[in-house]
């Protein structure tokens, strides 16, 4: 189907909830998405941090094809192949030390004690909705009895009504007022405000929910001091620390999970986006004792943790943890690769004209542009015309979330295009 045909059908029959660029993608390979006219585009957005293995990766393709030929869906009333294995892999990644994921680290007995348990859904919003429900139920059934959840200004946690209420940005909240209550906002990295809200509300707080690096607001990392204080105060007041790792999780930041870069361990964290390499999946992961708050019937999902998604996730997590990254050592996984290429990306972005700040970690980077340039969204469109897919999170911020198969040569190509766009 041509771009014109697809556009006409979208305009007539699809709700207009996205502003779409004038390209129709029909295939891809590695770092490149291929349009209907055969043109190839270097992708530094990765489906918004979803396509972690790029396009056409044989490990993911084989897993999805084989599973689709056997069983696509069965009810969660039954045991499902790969589901327990994926949950175990997530638990092992959560328990891994910084920089120590790879080779045999994802191999363990199914009978080994598990610190973490996972609920599977279909998206990041569902994962965060689950975390919110779990926090309040845990507080009611065995915790401090609190109902308030502290969130951060400029956060983003999803587009359900509950996760919009937790997303402290006016553009997301204002059209849908009144929203569910019980959410309290403070500024990110404001330790004084954090201490003040706990001093005022104390055990009325059942959780603090945050992104280790805020993605949709322009790639703003939490400070180590702030993360440490969240961990300290939540423990002191009997509340949960909950990390939204939907965008930051699974090797994106140069850590298996972004919270590991802060030397803190939350009580709950959420995953989605990259977890199944493009097959829809979300996951709410909680310490085993916290997970006990959920009883049969308290939460569920028709499609969550189905056979196809679990087969894909099993393949993706195995590849990231103990596969071979481009230019990497066989069997060593992607951590070292992401750190090296991510540092190179940050260095090259900082050297571009009109870039005043680079923020982020690993292959999650934001470039802040000096004032007086065209709106960043116009620069995104100009880059697309030159064959590069990037993203803007505001009028002065470009965001980069490439597949984790990205190489230094890909970075060089991107920066060549950006140099022309920003000249």
Does residue 276 form part of some domain?
A: yes
Same domain (yes/no): 121, 9: no
The domain containing residue 293 runs over which residues? 71-322
Same domain (yes/no): 186, 225: yes
Out of 322, 351, 376, pick the residue that ends a domain.
Answer: 322
What CATH number did the domain enclosing 101 receive? 3.40.640.10
Same domain (yes/no): 49, 97: no
Does residue 296 form part of some domain?
A: yes
Does residue 409 form part of some domain?
A: yes
Which has the minimum average pLDDT: 112-126, 219-233, 299-313? 112-126
Same domain (yes/no): 315, 407: no
Closest to 405 in 3D by CA, of 341, 314, 331: 341
Q: For 247-292, what is each residue's pLDDT tens digit?
A: 999 999 999 999 999 999 999 999 999 999 999 999 999 999 999 9
What's the rounded Cα separation, in Å, for the pair 9 and 28?
Answer: 23
Same domain (yes/no): 102, 217: yes
Does residue 328 form part of some domain?
A: no
Closest to 390 in 3D by CA, of 34, 27, 47: 47
Work out the mean pLDDT of the chain and round it to a whole number. 95
Does residue 62 form part of some domain?
A: no
Across 237-370, where does the E strand assignment appear? 240-244, 268-271, 282-287, 355-361, 364-369
Q: For 114-138, what is each residue's pLDDT tens digit?
A: 689 999 999 999 999 999 999 999 9
Same domain (yes/no): 341, 385: yes
Dihedral (Cα; 72, 75, 77, 80), 10-degree rounding: 10
Tokens standing for residue 349? 């972005």
What average pLDDT does the segment 212-225 reach? 97
What's the rounded Cα separation, in Å, for the pair 387 and 41?
Answer: 5
Does residue 327 form part of some domain?
A: no
Does residue 329 form part of some domain?
A: no
Is the pLDDT assigned to residue 111 strictly greater than 70?
A: no
What average pLDDT does the segment 173-191 reach? 97
413 in Cβ contact with 385 (< 8 Å): no
Out of 322, 346, 365, pick the residue that ends a domain.
Answer: 322
Same domain (yes/no): 38, 81: no
CA 150 vs CA 131, 239, 306, 391: distances in Å = 13, 10, 32, 29
Q: For 86-110, what is each residue's pLDDT tens digit?
A: 999 999 999 876 545 554 444 444 5
What average pLDDT does the segment 388-406 reach? 98
- Count Cβ atoms within 10 A of the Cβ of residue 95 and give its class: 0-12 exposed, 13-18 middle, 19 or more buried: middle
Same domain (yes/no): 82, 227: yes
Is the pLDDT assigned to residue 225 strictly greater than 50?
A: yes
Percent of the chain with pLDDT over 90: 93
What backbone phi and psi angles, to 5 degrees, belong to 34?
A: -110, 125
Out of 271, 287, 322, pick the residue that ends a domain.
Answer: 322
Same domain (yes/no): 162, 105: yes
Domain count of the chain?
2
Tokens standing for residue 209? 């929910």
What is the per-residue pLDDT for 108? 42
Does residue 84 form part of some domain?
A: yes
**Residue 122: how many CA atoms within 13 Å on its side-chain side?**
9
Same domain (yes/no): 129, 253: yes
What CATH number did the domain enclosing 416 receive? 3.90.1150.10
Dihedral (Cα; 24, 29, 32, 33), 10-degree rounding: 10
Across 268-383, where does the E strand assignment appear? 268-271, 282-287, 355-361, 364-369
In sequence order, which residues have a C-beta less than 8 Å from that of residue 88 and are 6 or more positions away?
A: 108, 110, 114
Q: For 35-92, what is each residue's pLDDT tens digit?
A: 999 999 999 999 999 999 999 999 999 999 999 999 999 999 999 999 999 999 999 9
Same domain (yes/no): 279, 347: no
What is the per-residue pLDDT for 106? 43
Same domain (yes/no): 28, 80: no
What is the per-residue pLDDT for 116? 95
Is the pLDDT assigned to residue 113 strictly greater than 70?
A: no
What's the rounded Cα separation, in Å, for the pair 114 and 94?
Answer: 11
């Amino acid at each position: 189907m041509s771009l014109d045909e697809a556009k006409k059908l979208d305009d007539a029959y699809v709700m207009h909830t996205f502003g779409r660029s004038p390209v129709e993608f029909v295939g891809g390979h590695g770092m490149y998405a291929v349009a209907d006219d055969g043109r190839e585009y270097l992708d530094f957005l990765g489906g918004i941090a979803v396509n972690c293995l790029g396009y056409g990766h044989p490990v993911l393709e084989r897993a999805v094809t084989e599973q689709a030929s056997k069983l696509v869906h069965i009810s969660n009333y039954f045991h499902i192949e790969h589901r327990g294995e994926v949950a175990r892999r997530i638990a092992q990644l959560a328990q891994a030390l910084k920089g120590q994921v790879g080779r045999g680290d994802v191999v363990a007995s199914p009978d080994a004690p598990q610190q973490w348990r996972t609920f599977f859904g279909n998206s990041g919003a569902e994962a965060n909705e689950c975390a919110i429900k779990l926090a309040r139920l845990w507080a009611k059934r065995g915790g401090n009895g609190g109902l308030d959840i502290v969130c951060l200004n400029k956060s983003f946690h999803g587009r359900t009504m509950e996760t919009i209420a937790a997303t402290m940005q006016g553009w997301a909240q204002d059209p849908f007022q009144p929203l569910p209550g019980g959410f309290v906002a403070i500024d990110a990295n404001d330790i004084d405000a954090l201490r003040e809200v706990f001093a005022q509300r104390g055990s009325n707080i059942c959780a603090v929910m945050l992104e280790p690096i805020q993605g949709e607001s322009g790639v703003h990392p939490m400070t180590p001091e702030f993360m440490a204080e969240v961990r300290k105060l939540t423990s002191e007041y009997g509340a949960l620390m909950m990390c939204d790792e939907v965008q930051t999780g699974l090797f994106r930041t140069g850590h298996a999970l972004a919270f590991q870069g802060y030397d803190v361990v939350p009580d709950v964290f959420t995953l989605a986006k990259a977890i199944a390499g493009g097959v829809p999946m979300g996951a709410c992961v909680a310490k085993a004792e916290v997970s006990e708050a959920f009883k049969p019937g308290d939460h569920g999902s028709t499609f969550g943790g189905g056979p196809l998604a679990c087969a894909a996730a099993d393949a993706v997590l195995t590849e990231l943890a103990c596969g071979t990254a481009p230019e990497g050592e066989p069997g060593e996984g992607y951590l070292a690769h992401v750190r090296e290429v991510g540092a190179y990306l940050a260095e090259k972005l900082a050297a571009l004209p009109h870039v005043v700040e680079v923020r982020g970690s690993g292959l999650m980077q934001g470039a802040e542009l000096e004032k007086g340039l065209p709106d960043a969204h116009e620069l995104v469109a100009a880059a697309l015309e030159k064959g590069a897919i990037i993203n803007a999170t505001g009028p002065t911020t470009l965001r980069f979330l490439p597949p984790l198969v990205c190489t230094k040569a890909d970075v060089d190509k991107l920066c060549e295009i950006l140099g022309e766009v920003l000249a």
